[in-house]
Chains A and B, each alone.
Chain A
Amino acid sequence: MTKTVDARGLSCPQPVLMTLNAIKAGNDSEIKVLVDSEVSKENVCRAANNRGWTVADITDESGEFSITMKKG
């Protein structure tokens, strides 16, 4: 199951908070996070790595990023 977290339009620390909440919920082995700034992308990726998740893919569509991360 892939859970999608939509953090577009939100600024720090909301995207990270939402990502960590999704990780903590523990239901999903793959999470997709949508953000719309470079800063949020960096912060979400850094937070995911800190929690032992791997960023598998980032797609950029005119400044909107979709970050796919996997457990472990």
Chain B
Amino acid sequence: MKNFLAGRWGIIGVGSVIGVLAALLQKLGNPGNMGVCVACFERDIAGALGLHRAGVVQYVRPEVIGFVLGALIAAYLFREFRPRLGSAPIVRFVLGAFAMIGALVFLGCPWRAALRLAGGDGSAIFGLLGLGVGIWIGTLFLKGGYNLGRTQRTHVAAGWMLPLMMLGLLVLMFIFPAVSGEAKSGVLFYSLKGPGAMHAPLLISLGIGLFIGFIAQRSRFCTMGAVRDLVLFRHMHLMSGFIALIVAAFVANLLFGQFHPGFEGQPVAHTMQIWNFAGMMLAGLAFCLAGGCPGRQLFLAGEGDGDAAIFVLGMIAGAAFSHNFGLASSPAGVGPYGIQAVVIGLVVCLFIGFTMRKSVV
């Protein structure tokens, strides 16, 4: 069967739809320029579970749950569910953790960098440039023979682990729903103010998440892959989807009255441009070494990739470290140890890139 969404117009269509839905989610309550941000949302989930105690970023984001489960449904419907793991999982965990640490210095994943640009936030340009440079460094390693080795087929149940965890989170949300004015409901933490308190209605977030998960799995949408394939192979395929996302979100923001050009006073952002650049450079390098942007890792996990699932857990752990150790930025600027963390992260990624070459021919 021909997969239309994996074709040229398919990927452009998927990027456009994601851009419009992200703008819509902002309209419906998600934080500014954060209709969808995989890093921010996983960080909010870490907060909701009490893995960090930053009171302003605690909410189980149904979009993330939807991404994984939507991809799972698509994978089953089109017979692409393929349980597999064993390609250097511990390395993927470390890459996930540092990817998150870098993303939270910038305050956004590549998706949000695009949405920030589409919302008029000029600082996003520095983040996107950093992302590009980080991925470019990653491609040098790829050309030099870097890879994390082959996966192996495994039990179906192993492929279900992350989807089941996501289902578990959803069940917890229904058992312990937000209570007005309460910072905790049962086992879950809920932000009373800040970005964590801003969200679209649960079922709408979940529905849009499921839909994006479904079409992204079919189209193989990946923001990191967009830059990587352009640099490595001169392929515009994935990049056309990424650009479509930015353009569509920009147009939708104009229509919704959400476009506010400028550098100062942008929502959930700071203007320390060197660190916006460096944070995303670290994230881009880590995504490239791990083979996918944070969204793509969720979709891969949904189709049974246990290594991508480990990367996701690494990101959630990285978010906890970010806020517990004062690494994450805030609108006031970088955290007290954010700069040191970026430097350490870059050193770790370079170590991984230089040492993990494996002849597979």
Contact = CB atoms under 8 A, between A and B. Distances in A.
A39 B82 CA distance: 11
Interface string A32-51: 00001111001000110010
Given A9-B151, A63-B82, A42 B233 contact: no
A67 B360 CA distance: 18
A9 B86 CA distance: 10
Interface residues of B, number: 27
Interface residues on A, range: 20 to 34
Nearest to B290: A11
Interface string A16-41: 11101000000000000000111100
B161 interface: no
A12 B225 contact: yes
B180 interface: no
Contacts of A56: none
A58 to B, nearest CB: 13
Nearest to A38: B80
A37 B305 CA distance: 11
B147 A14 contact: yes
Interface in B310-361: 360-361
A42 B87 contact: no
A8 interface: yes
A10 B233 contact: no
Which 5 pairs across A and B sit closest by C-beta, in order of nearness?
A9-B150, A9-B151, A38-B80, A11-B291, A14-B147
Given A11-B291, A18-B361, 4 more contacts: A8-B150, A9-B150, A13-B233, A46-B235
